[in-house]
Amino acid sequence: MAVLYSDNEGDFRVKSVCGFDIAVLTHKNNANTVSPKDSLISEGAKKSRLLLISSNAVTDNNHVSNNNAGAPKKLKRTTNRKRITFEGSITHCNKTYRINNGKGDIALGLYIEPLQKIIEQFEIGLAKWKRVFVLRFDLHCPFETSNNIQMTTFRKRLFQKLKRYYGFKEIGYCWAREYHGKGKGQHYHWVLFLNGNLIRHSSRIIELIINAWYKPTGGYHTQNVKRPFYLVDSEDIAHDAIYRVSYLAKTRGKGYRNNQTKDYQCSRMTIQA
């Protein structure tokens, strides 16, 4: 449980977080990267979460309620024409990365176009800053929505706070919308690509994420988080980071939306000529 309190600037801060391993995320400790062995476990297990933030009592005019007369009993899956790969690697700009296509004999299909876009934004950040801070987190919704307006609102609130606190000029990101029935409901997987010269740990940024997602009528809880970030400054760490964030491109859980609603969105960072 995250306990929030208001600071002098009107922001909410986390006073204590049960189950959150804050010991490894302090100003005194450098960012520790996750080994390939760790990354195989983090995204593969069904009950594993990096960061889960929920707003249980939030109301929204765009949500799909099963209690309303005439409302659909469940979200229908739309037809998706994106290309799918079941391979264990993908090549982008002549560089081959290992990707998370599941465990054992069961291949986890991944959409190629979103996966290429994720890698593109990561590589652009690396070319710009030489060191990229990669952060994974998840947002949980208390109900299904017909659009992604709440993601736009969250992104604007969060990026305003990040730029003010850290001084970022550009922020790379990708999010993926998923729905797994009433058990998990609608949720969003996120990855941020940040200037690794300006940030080395995630303790403060976790607070900013919770604050940006907070609404007065909702409550928040975080699951156990162990090293949800990579400080990429070498080839080996880059491959580990891409393997982990490739999870966002998986086909499972996608398509439960209106035809005009997106399953993915990525930043549009470019390299200046």
The reported pLDDT for the residue numbered 185 is 76
**Tokens representing 163?**
């730029």
**Checking phi first, is residue 10 left (phi over 0); if not, alpha (psi -120 to 50) or beta?**
left
In a domain, 128, yes or no: yes
Nearest to 154 by CA among 229, 245, 18, 265: 265
- As a whole number, the mean pLDDT across the chain is 76
Q: Cα(262)–Cα(255) distance, rounded to whole angstroms?
A: 8
In a domain, 4, yes or no: no
- For residue 232, what are the domain limits? 17-56+83-266
In a domain, 222, yes or no: yes
In a domain, 32, yes or no: yes
Q: Give the pLDDT band of residue 144 (cuts 50, 70, 90).
A: confident
21-31: pLDDT as tens digits: 333 333 344 44
For 141-155, what is the mean pLDDT?
88
The reported pLDDT for the residue numbered 8 is 52
Q: Residue 192: pLDDT above 50?
A: yes
In a domain, 50, yes or no: yes
Q: Which residue has the tokens 């909410």?
A: 12
Q: Considering its fold, how many domains does the chain have in total?
A: 1
Question: What's the first-to-final CA gap in the chain, in angstroms?
Answer: 47
CB 14 within 8 A of CB 6: no
